Amino acid sequence: MTAGQADALQRLWPKWGLDIDGQCVVEVGELFGNDNPVVLEIGFGMGEATAQMAAGDPGTNILAVDVHTPGQGNLLNLAEQHGLTNIRVANGDAIILLREMLAPDSLDGLRVYFPDPWPKKRHHKRRLIQPEFLSLAATRLKPGALVHCATDWEPYAEQMLEVLTAHPDFENTVPGGGFAPRPEFRPLTRFEGQGLDKGHVVNDLLFRRVQREERSG
Ligand SMILES: C[S@@+](CC[C@H](N)C(=O)[O-])C[C@H]1O[C@@H](n2cnc3c(N)ncnc32)[C@H](O)[C@@H]1O
């Protein structure tokens, strides 16, 4: 961790940080101090893309979660430098945040960009995008909320497409199904750049949480 990142954590965590302790349900409107839509980004890494998206869409709040402390300091620094008040940084496991600390129907979107691909077969069970995770996420997302994933690991992209397509709580926004073109609001991320340098193909997936009536019907 750089001195600048450590300094940002110390100064800005009390204002913009959230500790994931699983002890209480967070009212997201109170967390941001307004009723703007809230998008959860899981695994923001160093946060450059997160800061860019927050700057490009100040009317959307981003709750950004990662376990990586230097990245948390980096993102807090970027938020301060660019005067971004629509970012909150959560430290810990996104699953605990979703399960224990976020209320049903509290999120307007979910972003998962370049999650750890766990390429070895025996590690596939560690991948984030799995049916159980999607079922949990669906309960925290409002009907109509967008789920946006991207990966440069093609076997994982195929798995994401398969589990999202099969899940009854989500529908593909792409007519006829399949991968989506990268939406303009998503900047290139740090890990994406590394993947592209290696010649990897990047795939985006854009699904919508279906309406409750459709779910019960
Ligand atoms: C491969 S990096 C991608 C970072 C960034 N999105 C990018 O594209 O540059 C994946 C990130 O997910 C974080 N991560 C993995 N599992 C997580 C979890 N359960 N909760 C929160 N963050 C997690 C890691 O710490 C890491 O920073």
pLDDT in tens, 190-209: 999 999 999 999 999 999 99
CA 187 to chain centre: 14
Residues 127 and 90 in one domain: no
- Average pLDDT over the chain reads 96
Residues 212 and 138 in one domain: yes
pTM score, two decimals? 0.97
pLDDT greater than 90 at residue 179: yes
Residues 76 and 123 in one domain: no
Check if 114 has its Cβ closer than 6 Å to any atom of ligand 1: yes
The domain in which residue 31 lies consists of 1-15+27-100
Residue 198 forms part of a structural domain = yes
217 pLDDT band, cuts 50/70/90, is very low
Q: How far is the CA of 73 from the centre of ligand 1 (A)?
A: 15
- pLDDT for 31 equals 98
pLDDT in tens, 118-157: 999 999 999 999 999 999 999 999 999 999 999 999 999 9
Q: How far is the CA of 214 from the centre of ligand 1 (A)?
A: 32
CA 19 to chain centre: 17
Residue 140 forms part of a structural domain = yes
Which one-letter DSSP state was computed for residue 98?
A: I
- pLDDT for 91 equals 98
Residue type, 113: Y
Residues 183 and 207 in one domain: yes
Strand pairing class (170-172; 87-91): unpaired
pLDDT greater than 60 at residue 8: yes
Catalytic residue among 7, 57, 116, 169: 116
Separation in Å, CA 159 to CA 10, 22, 71, 129, 217: 39, 29, 27, 8, 27
